[in-house]
Chains A and B, each alone.
Chain A
Amino acid sequence: MDALLRAFTMVGQPEVLLTIVVSSIFGLVVGFIPGLTATMATALLVPFAMFLDPVPAIASIVAATAMAIFAGDIPGTLLRLPGTPASAAYVDQSYRLAMAGRAGEILGINVVFSALGGIFGTIVLVTSAPLLADYALQLSSFEFFWLAVLGLSCAVFVVGDNVAKGLAALAFGLLLATVGRDYTSGFPRFTFDEADLLDGIPFVPALIGFFALPEILRTMLGGAVAHGQPITQAGSIFSGMIHAVWHWRWNFLRSSALGTAVGALPGAGADTAAWTAYAVSKKLTRDPHAWERDSVEGIVDSTSANNAALSGAWIPALVFAIPGDTITAIAIAVLYLKNVTPGPSIFLENAHVLYAVFTTFFVANLLMIPLGWIAIRAAIPILRMPRQVLMAPLLLFACVGAYAVDNNVFGIGVMLACGLVGYWMEHHGYPVGPVVLGMVMGRLVEEHLMTSLIKVQGDLTRFFERPIATALAVFTLIVWLLPLLRWITKRLRRTSATRPASQV
């Protein structure tokens, strides 16, 4: 109770509330610029968050990402250009209905169901995280090792499109995390006599490099973007929303639950949640004809799911220190930098920080409705601006942000190197997200591996002695075998599809 009161006091401070409002506006601006993602918003926000206390730092990330995911719907509806990948699933449907004169209604649905989806995900987070944490306190380094491996495996084998490339990206990220002094022996690894590398590759500049620079370069390479003519009248946004919420209540509950679950899966973010909810909506709709033509059902489902996924991603992040997506990977890194260690012990040692984070989720999602309304009104003139014009300030902000973390130009060098590597990776089909997951989780995985190895004197069979560790190991093995199972299923389907034709 004392921790809860302390948390409310912390969030109620004017500077924390101001941080939430400013970060929300920043998130809205980044979100509604097509091509800029919520992850990029977080990456650009981190240099500022470094100067804040843990609660406002995390609050700024929570608020900016929630707003960015919603704001991605604005250009999607008005221009048919999704602001973030999380809005891509339903952009065609949104734009088609907006063209039919329903832009105000669609934007209203986006803002209201995004906020409600976020609140649903937060309720699940608040209720499930402490229960899971109680359980997690009984786990040893063996279980944590397998949990981390399972989480990373899900990111590559379940969610990724290309296992070899995803695994290579993850291994690269884990390898980057080994740079610097080894934590068991203090031996410097891969430092090449460079003193700046003794403490490892600076995470924030690397992060800015991996996410911001490739995006900026791609935008400039793309030349002038052929924007559609934006719809200039959004009309009334909130009229009929109470009826809409009541009418689509079951869709909302189903999709928010689905979004939260997908978000909690390591590696799967808001975009996967939106696509999954959209596909489920199409399959389960009672009126497929209306769904295709003039119903908002698919939009309600996906827009609820993508914001719910944001909160869902925080469940494994806070309980097991295993990020649910790249945004929580960044947030975990910020918590470490602020000397707050995520994991089950956070519920005992820093409960007030945790409750304050939960409170900021509610505040950010509630703020989405008034700020979203303002953003929709302000969006139309900004959407007319060529995207290239925004890249110049973004690049210089990224450079100064990379410097500001340690007041060291080495950060700018790291940003440039990681940016070019990130660009090369994306150009050749390697995903960048697993690199960041690997960088964040590298130390945790190695620490638990080495601790466990020292405990059992190198006897690997003892990694499977404890029942939960064994169960997690079996799950991990199943996840590793998934691509093979998918391949076999595909072959069998193809064979059964061609058989009748060949028999004719």
Chain B
Amino acid sequence: MADLARRLGTALPVAALGVAAIWLSRDFPTVPGQTYGPGLFPAVLGWVLTACALGVALQPAAKQTVSASSEGRLAAAVYALTPAVLLAGWESAGWPILSFALGSLLLAVGRVRWWRCLLGGAMIAVITWVLFPMLLRVPLPRGPLPFIPY
């Protein structure tokens, strides 16, 4: 039963993607004077994905390779959420504050001593600022620290 659930969990998203590709590409207009158009290639890929999903569902489920501790799961969750936090605070908090705070937090969940976390966070903020805005001219937001040089 667990094997069947795992098989379906592995195959169904692929099948859903395939069906969605076929469904959405139906409405694409054809090239004038031809019977096919921009929908042809995505539709073919949709059918391939659906067929592959069927093939995957018929195979034994893949072994789960990662057996994580709760601490590891928490650390991975913090890491996965970091880009989302960056997106949320990009303009308002600015890169220097975000990179320092998130860098320190990420090091902390990796079980680094608190003072090393703060030092590491500061180093990440300084190095990325020198490298990207100052050398490569990437306009990272300054947030509430407008005096920081580009």
Contacts and interface: CB of A to CB of B under 8 A. Distances in A.
Nearest to A438: B45
Contacts of B64: 427
Nearest to B65: A427
Interface string A353-391: 000000000000000000000000000000000101101
B28 A187 contact: yes
Interface in A375-424: 386, 388-389, 391-393, 395-397, 399-400, 403-404, 407, 409, 412-413, 415-416, 419-420, 423-424
A399 B102 CA distance: 12
Contacts of B107: 389, 392
Contacts of A163: 55
A492 B80 CA distance: 48
B37 A185 contact: yes
B118 interface: no
B114 interface: no
Contacts of B120: 389, 392-393
B83 interface: yes
A184 B31 CA distance: 8
Given A171-B49, A396-B99, A223 B68 contact: yes
Contacts of B93: none
A175 B62 contact: no
A168 B51 CA distance: 9
B38 interface: yes
Contacts of B140: 400, 403
Contact of B62 (A184, A423, A428, A454): A428
B82 A221 contact: no
Contacts, number: 176
A168 B45 contact: no
A407 B139 contact: yes
Interface residues of A toward B: which range? 35 or more
Interface string A444-455: 011001100110
Interface of A: 48, 51, 162-165, 167-168, 171-172, 174-175, 178, 182, 184-185, 187, 189-190, 213, 216-218, 220-224, 386, 388-389, 391-393, 395-397, 399-400, 403-404, 407, 409, 412-413, 415-416, 419-420, 423-424, 427-429, 445-446, 449-450, 453-454, 457-458
27 contacts: A167-B55, A168-B52, A182-B28, A189-B38, A189-B42, A213-B80, A217-B79, A220-B72, A220-B76, A221-B76, A223-B68, A223-B72, A393-B120, A393-B127, A395-B83, A396-B99, A400-B95, A400-B128, A400-B132, A403-B140, A413-B83, A413-B87, A419-B83, A428-B10, A428-B62, A446-B41, A458-B34
Given A223-B69, A457-B34, 19 more contacts: A162-B59, A163-B55, A165-B52, A171-B49, A172-B14, A175-B17, A175-B46, A182-B38, A189-B38, A220-B79, A389-B112, A393-B127, A403-B138, A404-B132, A412-B83, A413-B83, A424-B13, A450-B31, A458-B35
